[in-house]
A and B are shown apart, each in its own frame.
Chain A
Amino acid sequence: DAKTTQPPSMDCAEGRAANLPCNHSTISGNEYVYWYRQIHSQGPQYIIHGLKNNETNEMASLIITEDRKSSTLILPHATLRDTAVYYCIVRVAGNQGGKLIFGQGTELSVKP
């Protein structure tokens, strides 16, 4: 079962920041938070991941609360091409591996 909960859908105006929340209250100390997005019928695209510090890359910023029970993905200037389903994932380690357990995600609609 997915260890994260996300709102099913969100809207954002083009050019504004999109803030996507995620709850992962049962996360373990050595589990990472990953964000992926999927544009219709394409393979999921990696966005960013982190353990406990805030992270930023060319696509987005990831803010993780101090208790690590929740996080927020920030797309600083959303464009129409950012319309997609966004998945917040806690990466579960098992037998030296690291499978991704996807939940239902948040469907982000960026509107003009």
Chain B
Amino acid sequence: KAGVTQTPRYLIKTRGQQVTLSCSPISGHRSVSWYQQTPGQGLQFLFEYFSETQRNKGNFPGRFSGRQFSNSRSEMNVSTLELGDSALYLCASSLELGRNTEAFFGQGTRLTVV
């Protein structure tokens, strides 16, 4: 069974631009979460989607947004990019919502803002 697929793997953008990252969850998984990883802040939760609805949101500015489609695939968007948005963006999929469900991570998208 294929794992979580994130595209693209690497991305370079200029300050002020916007970017869209894509995540395809494991087949049959209905919950998708996004995380940002930076050397200074570590792994931080961005948001979680289930059944096309945002169920949880982390402490990030409104420039960070996401959505989930009916096939459970998810995208996240960052507008007006800042240098500090350079990070590894990770997507995780789970079968369902809840505390007793493993989350499986993709390999991430490495975003560099110049």
The residues of A with any CB-CB pair to B shorter than 8 Å are: 30-32, 34, 36, 41-46, 49, 51, 87, 91, 93-105
Contact = CB atoms under 8 A, between A and B. Distances in A.
Given A43-B108, A51-B100, A97-B31, 5 more contacts: A32-B99, A44-B90, A46-B104, A99-B58, A102-B35
Chain B interface main SS type = strand
Given A95-B56, A102-B42, A104-B42, A31 B48 contact: no
A41 B48 CA distance: 22
B55 A97 contact: yes
Nearest to A43: B105
A99 B4 contact: no
Given A43-B107, A104-B42, A96 B100 contact: no
A42 B9 CA distance: 11
Contacts of A51: 100
Contacts of B104: 46
A41 B104 CA distance: 15
In the A-B complex, the 6 residue pairs with the smallest Cβ-Cβ separation, listed nearest first, are A43-B105, A102-B43, A97-B56, A97-B55, A99-B45, A98-B99
A98 B98 contact: yes
Which among A30, A44, A101 has the greatest number of chain B C-beta atoms within 10 A? A44
20 contacts: A30-B99, A31-B99, A34-B102, A42-B108, A43-B107, A44-B43, A44-B90, A44-B92, A46-B102, A46-B105, A49-B100, A95-B55, A97-B48, A98-B99, A98-B103, A99-B56, A99-B58, A100-B35, A100-B45, A103-B42
